Amino acid sequence: MNHPYLKPRFPTENYLNRELGLLAFNRRVLAQAQDDHVPLLERLRFLCIVSSNLDEFFEVRMAGLKEQVQAHSLVITSDGKTAQEAFRLVSAEAHAIVTEQYQQLNDVILPALAEQGIRFLRRSTWNEAQREWIRNYFMREMVPVLTPIGLDPSHPFPRVLNKSLNFAIELEGKDAFGRSSNAAIVQAPRVLPRVIQLPEELAGCAYGFVFLSSILHEFVGELFTGMSVLGCYQFRATRNSDLFVDEEEVTNLRTKLQGELPQRNFGNAVRLEVADNCSPAMTEFLLAQFELKPADLYRVQGPVNLVRLMQIPDSVDRPDMKFSSFVPGVPKAVGKGSNIFESIRKSDILLHHPYQSFAPVIELLNQAVKDPQVVAIKMTVYRTGTDSVLMQSLIRAAQNGKEVTVVVELMARFDEEANIGWATKLEEVGAHVVYGVVGYKSHLKALLIVRREEGGLKRYAHLGTGNYHPRTARLYSDFGLMTAHEEITHDVSEVFKQLTGLGKARTLRHLWQAPFTLHSSIIAAIQAEADAARSGGKGRIVAKMNSLVEPEVINALYEASQAGVMIDLIVRGVCTLRPGVTGLSENIRVRSIIGRFLEHHRVMYFYAGGKENVYLSSADWMERNFFKRIELAFPILDPKLKKRVITEGLKFYLADNQQGWEMSSVGAYQRRRSARAKPHNAQGELMVTLGGS
């Protein structure tokens, strides 16, 4: 029986492919590694970031695409492609990016580093003294933890961990038992460093490094006494890392998730990386073991995992080859020695990370922990890290007898284990720990503090666009708002009631909340701008986000453009909207900013007849954020702070002609770097404007 294809709701020619958009973003990151204006060690770091991004791309997006292909899915993507067509295009582009990445490493970055006395010593260049030191390292540090596995009927191909470094060995001869297996596998334990630094006097340069893979290649024969090693080849398998937990069937989500996490390392393989010297026979053998096809093979000229080079910039003391040091600023109102509650009562406080320090957020929580007038603390946790000072503060608050409620999102991808750990520790000290709402990820960023003051209880809130994660707050651009505004803090309190209790969602006065009002409110705001333009007034929309893929919002933007609304979208990553199409989107411009910091804040501006409504949000404009997550968008009501958000969060970025990329109607990006115009670098200017001394 022939089944009709399941077609998208909207005309496919109006949309771009999501996976290709993600790869286009990684091309822009790769361009940072190719940019002579970027310090050399930072270029190496960007090269590593591309590898890290591609790992997650394969673990999640490519894994999902392959599942659709294998299931002969009848679904057609929003841009009109079948899963098979999309896979072919995405695979070809991914191969092209990887090839370009290794060319940049081998032809440009490594030679440039060598000129600066930072060398990766190849086996063919080792002198006797270096070889002896490296051999001693191998025997002392590596041999005791290596387990060679000869492949024969009693030793089948081992289970290979996701993204682990492994070596396939071709052998000849017989072992002590008379066995004549011609192949073996050596897995490199994760306790071993992937790059080893030699003493300077031995290296012959300021910084001499040797890859773990080079050491094993050279001395692998020591593991197979009396046999001849014909070949030794690095390989690495990337696996499907999406966890499947049927939340409707689970009685204890944490217990179920703890049982599922170990299986993430052994999902179906989606990619095989091998060194370029891997023999055809061994390549075919490995593909067969992982049940992969030639299209899933990535043959690389160098280490099979460039992420391992991420440690090099931090290991090399060359400030002249890195971004200049930067100290975030601290607003006077929340500076050292200030009473933060008193400051918030006077006026709302806006923090713009990483240009302004995250320390006031930590201090707010610390003061709440110590303050005897504080009776309750409620907080959401999505990503916070394994050594979070904020979580430690919550633990102390509970130990001090305060009512502590923490909404921990256990299904935060790749942070599940850390979040389970914090949930356990918080429960042990008597905190109320809830896991949000079944079927909806709690992705909002909210902190509510209840304090006993004259006249009764008063609420204080912190709302943000980014996670409560002090480390990423130094690397990601985000806004955070501290407020004691009665109606906003009341709204936040209502949201926490929803998350921890039961009952109908109440109408919020100021906050837009997914999955209830965020999507419809954004569309209504877009349509209001369109109505104003149709009636001869001014229509203006500016929005900044990480991703834009939700078709109904895109459709509303198209209609607003056709009505004459001028629309600027600043989208860091994937954007499936097609800008600049005559009759559809000629009034829409899309740009992307890629620089030293990861652009992460979500900002919405609507002219609104001159009122200039400004919202900050935890949500990107994606279907999952609107309908399958709990998210918040909150208004900036203080006129001074509103002006700051418009200037710092939007105008600086619209003027950027150094790190900005303009998107074409076919999804291609062109760098906006002009030698004639006055140079504007949004991140650099924000560092100067907001940074500390």
494-510 pLDDT, tens per residue?
999 998 887 677 889 99
If you average pLDDT over residues 223-247, what whole number do you get? 80
Confidence of residue 253 (pLDDT cuts 50, 70, 90): very low
Q: What is the pLDDT of residue 5?
A: 60
Of residues 335 and 287, more confidently modeled? 287
Q: Tokens in use for 156? A: 């089948």
Say how far apart CA 288 and CA 270 lie, in whole Å.
12
Q: Are 123 and 214 in contact (CB under 8 A)?
A: yes
pLDDT at 92 over 70: yes
pLDDT at 114 over 90: yes
If you average pLDDT over residues 516-524, what whole number do you get? 97
What are the residues facing 6 on neighbouring strands? 75
pLDDT at 412 over 90: no
pLDDT at 266 over 90: no
* Phi and psi, residue 47, nearest 5°: -60, -40
Domain(s) of CATH 3.30.870.10: residues in the chain: 337-506, 513-690
CATH of 513-690, one of 2.30.30.30, 3.90.480.20, 3.30.870.10, 1.10.10.350: 3.30.870.10
Sign of CA dihedral 119, 122, 127, 129: positive
Confidence of residue 492 (pLDDT cuts 50, 70, 90): very high
If you average pLDDT over residues 116-135, what whole number do you get? 96
Confidence of residue 415 (pLDDT cuts 50, 70, 90): low
Q: What is the pLDDT of residue 335?
A: 87
Confidence of residue 264 (pLDDT cuts 50, 70, 90): very low
Give the range among 49-53, 413-417, 428-432, 489-493 with minimum mean pLDDT.
413-417
pLDDT at 580 over 70: yes
Sign of CA dihedral 640, 643, 649, 653: negative
If you average pLDDT over residues 255-267, what whole number do you get? 51
pLDDT at 688 over 50: yes
DSSP H stretches of helix in 105-166? 110-115, 128-137
Sign of CA dihedral 684, 685, 690, 691: positive
Confidence of residue 677 (pLDDT cuts 50, 70, 90): confident
Q: Are 159 and 290 in contact (CB under 8 A)?
A: no
If you average pLDDT over residues 408-418, what whole number do you get? 61
% of the chain with per-residue pLDDT over 90: 73
Fold for the domain defined by 12-102: Methane Monooxygenase Hydroxylase; Chain G, domain 1 (1.20.58)
Does the domain formed by 121-313 have CATH 3.30.1840.10?
yes
Contacts of 36 (CB under 8 A, 6+ apart): none
Q: What is the pLDDT of residue 426?
A: 84
Q: Tokens in use for 272? A: 């095989």
pLDDT at 101 over 60: yes
Q: What is the pLDDT of residue 316?
A: 96
If you average pLDDT over residues 170-183, what whole number do you get? 70
pLDDT at 179 over 60: no
pLDDT at 523 over 70: yes
3-state secondary structure of 555: helix
pLDDT at 615 over 90: yes
Confidence of residue 226 (pLDDT cuts 50, 70, 90): confident
If you average pLDDT over residues 140-166, what whole number do you get? 86
Give the range among 31-40, 170-179, 339-348, 380-389 with minimum mean pLDDT.
170-179
Q: Tokens in use for 339? A: 């009473």
Say how far apart CA 618 and CA 446 lie, in whole Å.
10
Q: How many helices (H) and strands (E) does the chain have?
A: 22, 27
Q: What is the pLDDT of residue 254?
A: 45
Q: Are 595 and 573 in contact (CB under 8 A)?
A: no
Which residue pairs from 288-296 have beta carbons closer than 8 angstroms and sit at least 24 positions apart in sequence?
289/157, 290/160, 290/237, 295/87, 295/88, 295/91, 296/91, 296/269, 296/270, 296/271, 296/272
Give the range among 153-157, 184-188, 493-497, 541-545 with minimum mean pLDDT.
153-157
- How many CB atoms within 10 Å of residue 132? 12
Give the range among 190-204, 410-424, 640-654 with minimum mean pLDDT.
410-424
Closest CA to 70 of 57, 51, 83: 83
Q: What is the pLDDT of residue 421?
A: 74
pLDDT at 436 over 60: yes
* Phi and psi, residue 168, nearest 5°: -100, 125
% of the chain with per-residue pLDDT over 70: 91
Say how far apart CA 237 and CA 162 lie, in whole Å.
6
Q: What is the DSSP letter of 411?
A: T
Q: How far is CA 402 from the centre of its chain?
A: 34
Range picked from 198-212, 265-279, 669-683 for highest mean pLDDT: 198-212
Confidence of residue 78 (pLDDT cuts 50, 70, 90): confident
As annotated, the active-site residues are 443
What are the residues facing 570 on neighbouring strands? 544, 591
Q: Are 274 and 286 in contact (CB under 8 A)?
A: yes
Q: Tokens in use for 228? A: 């001849």
Q: What is the pLDDT of residue 603?
A: 98
pLDDT at 252 over 70: no
Q: What is the pLDDT of residue 419?
A: 64
Q: How far is CA 84 from CA 65, 66, 69, 425, 574, in A?
A: 8, 8, 6, 46, 21
Residue with tokens 């990370």: 353
Say how far apart CA 512 and CA 634 lie, in whole Å.
7
Q: Tokens in use for 418? A: 């850390």
Q: What is the pLDDT of residue 40?
A: 98
Per-position b or e across 519-553, b if 16+ CB within 10 A of its CB: bebbbebbebbbebbeeeeebbbbbbbbbbbbbbb
CATH of 337-506, one of 3.30.870.10, 3.30.230.70, 3.40.50.720, 3.90.550.10: 3.30.870.10
Residue with tokens 């005791």: 144
β pairing state of 660-663 and 588-593: antiparallel
Q: What is the pLDDT of residue 258?
A: 47
Q: Verify cis geometry, omega within 30 degrees of 0, for the bond prior to 153.
A: no
Q: What is the pLDDT of residue 440?
A: 87
Confidence of residue 260 (pLDDT cuts 50, 70, 90): very low
Q: What is the pLDDT of residue 74?
A: 81
Confidence of residue 259 (pLDDT cuts 50, 70, 90): very low
Q: Tokens in use for 688? A: 């100067």
Give first-to-last CA distance, the chain, whole Å.
Answer: 72
Contacts of 530 (CB under 8 A, 6+ apart): 539, 556, 559, 560, 563, 565
DSSP H stretches of helix in 230-336? 253-260, 280-289, 311-315
Q: Tokens in use for 599? A: 């652009």
Q: What is the pLDDT of residue 417?
A: 64
If you average pLDDT over residues 165-186, what whole number do you get? 78
Of residues 459 and 673, more confidently modeled? 459
Q: Are 63 and 136 in contact (CB under 8 A)?
A: no
If you average pLDDT over residues 380-405, what whole number do you get? 86
β pairing state of 456-464 and 476-483: antiparallel
The model carries a pTM of 0.91
Q: What is the pLDDT of residue 550?
A: 95
Sign of CA dihedral 264, 266, 268, 270: positive
Q: What is the pLDDT of residue 604?
A: 98
If you average pLDDT over residues 130-149, what whole number do you get? 95
Q: What is the pLDDT of residue 423?
A: 79
* Phi and psi, residue 179, nearest 5°: -80, 145
